[in-house]
Amino acid sequence: MKYFLILLALIIITFSFSSPALAQEQTREIKVFIDDLPVSFDVQPVIESGRTLVPFRAIAEALNINVNWNGSTQTVEAFDGKTLIKLQIGIHNAFRNEVAVPLDVPPLIIDGRTLIPLRFFSEAFNCDVSWNSDTYRVEITSGPKEMTVIGFYALGDTGTSSWTNLFRNAYPETGPGNTDVVDELALGWYSFDEQGNLLTRSWTGWQRPAGWENVLNAAQEYSLKTEMTIYNTDRYGTLSSLLSSETASAQLVEAIMKEVALYGGVNLNFEEFGLAKSGEELTAVRQQLTDFVRLLSVQLKIANKSLTLTIHPPNSSYKGYDYRALGELADRIIIMAYDYGPKPEPLNFVVQAVEMAKEVVPPQKLVLGICAPYENPESMAAKIGIAKRHNLHGIAIWRLGLVTHEMWQVLRSNVL
């Protein structure tokens, strides 16, 4: 009896020391990130036999993969247009495009949610997966996605030449360079005055360079679409003055239509509009901009030319942009999701800008603007991840000449 009591006491002592650690290990939260963006779950991931299992639908939707659940057979399917995977609850085999793949741990159901092995699912869709056992953090890097990449082409200097950065040769020599990554050029060569005169040299610094014809010829050689980009700001009231005058607006539209014959379309980069406006005054200035865009849009459609707007995000201080109305008129809107303050640009603000824009504009019309000098290779990958997750039309880089070699590699890894 004495030995039994001693043994019992030892067991109690052992468990009193080991149970808290064991409980802590079992209840520790597993965090999952895709392209550096967190994934939210209503049922938390678990570790089973050394393998991480995650809620199937949440992870699939974060990767823009279609999901189907068959309750009668307890089978889940996911399809991204190329790859079809099938898993069945409690079965140690999965199928990838009808080819059987053994699983260390089968799918299971917890609180009405289907959990599947994370690594199998991610790698089946060409994602890279890493696990940090110290932080209980899963990092998923999604595979490259087909999307449009727009490069702003503007004057720089010998060290920040758009030409050299794009073609990887000194002007006027060309080469494929980085043209495999870029689809379109937004040529930042134009501005205007209050009277509606289209300018190729202005106080804004946007100038059309000597030899600009060579840029157009090189773009054609490498199958790069071009848009003439027209920039102005309301910092000194120029934009407001133009938009408040029907005569000046009509004159600018006429001048644009004469010039656009050289390009595939127009990109209006109207900045700093609607600051400190509210109520009826804000409604009025928004309407003025919308009216101008409508006037130009009608003419461009007749000429079979595209219209892109490059404007401040919905969560900026500049409220003069009616995203819903502008989205109906333009072919695309580039969201200038930068200049929030901290650098690199805070992910939460960029995500908020995209989500607000998506509420009123279809994602296939939205392009995420990324300011290269404000980012590093890792943060640029995260910004591209936002565009991937929200299924946007593409990304736009300000500007060629400022994209580092490492950033080009990030683009190649993430964009088809």
C-alpha–C-alpha distance, residues 384 and 35, integer Å: 8
Q: What is the pLDDT of residue 140?
A: 92
Q: From 47, 40, 72, 67, select the one nearest 56 (Cα to Cα).
A: 67
Q: Which domains does the chain have, with CATH numbers?
A: 31-141 (3.30.457.10), 148-414 (3.20.20.80)
**Cβ-contact 353, 315 below 8 angstroms:** yes
Whole-model pTM? Answer: 0.90
Assess whether the previous peptide bond of 344 is cis (omega < 30° from 0). yes
Q: So what's the pLDDT on residue 231?
A: 97
* Counts of helices then strands in the chain (DSSP H, E): 12, 22
The answer to whether the CB of 343 falls within 8 A of the CB of 297 is no
Q: How far is CA 8 from CA 11, 22, 365, in A?
A: 5, 20, 70
Q: Are 370 and 396 in contact (CB under 8 A)?
A: yes
User: What are φ and ψ of residue 305, in 5° steps?
Assistant: -115, 150
Order the strands of the 113-117 sheet from edge to edge: 46-48, 51-55, 113-117, 108-110
Residue 387's CB: how many other CB atoms inside 10 A? 27
**Taking the C-alpha atoms of 322, 328, 329 and 330 in order, what is their torsion angle to the nearest 10 degrees?**
90
- Dihedral sign, Cα of residue 295, residue 148, residue 154, residue 169: negative
Distance CA 45, CA 263 (A): 51
| CA torsion angle 159 164 165 168 (round to 10) | -130
To which H or E segment does residue 22 belong? helix 2-27
User: Per residue of the chain (416 residues), what is the pLDDT tens digit?
Assistant: 544 444 444 433 333 333 333 333 446 899 999 998 999 999 999 999 889 999 989 999 999 999 999 999 999 999 998 999 999 999 999 999 999 999 999 999 999 899 999 888 888 998 999 889 899 999 999 999 999 999 999 988 889 999 999 999 999 999 999 999 999 999 999 999 999 999 999 988 899 999 999 999 999 999 999 999 999 999 999 999 999 999 999 999 999 999 999 999 999 999 999 998 999 999 999 999 999 999 999 999 999 999 999 999 999 999 999 999 999 999 999 999 999 999 999 999 999 999 999 999 999 999 999 999 999 999 999 999 999 999 999 999 999 999 999 999 999 999 99
User: How many C-beta neighbours within 10 Å does residue 300 have?
Assistant: 20
In this structure, are residues 385 and 350 in contact, taking their beta carbons and an 8 Å threshold?
no
* Burial call 48-84: b when 16+ CB within 10 Å, e when fewer: eeebbbbbbbbbbebbebeeeeeeeeebbbbbbeeeb
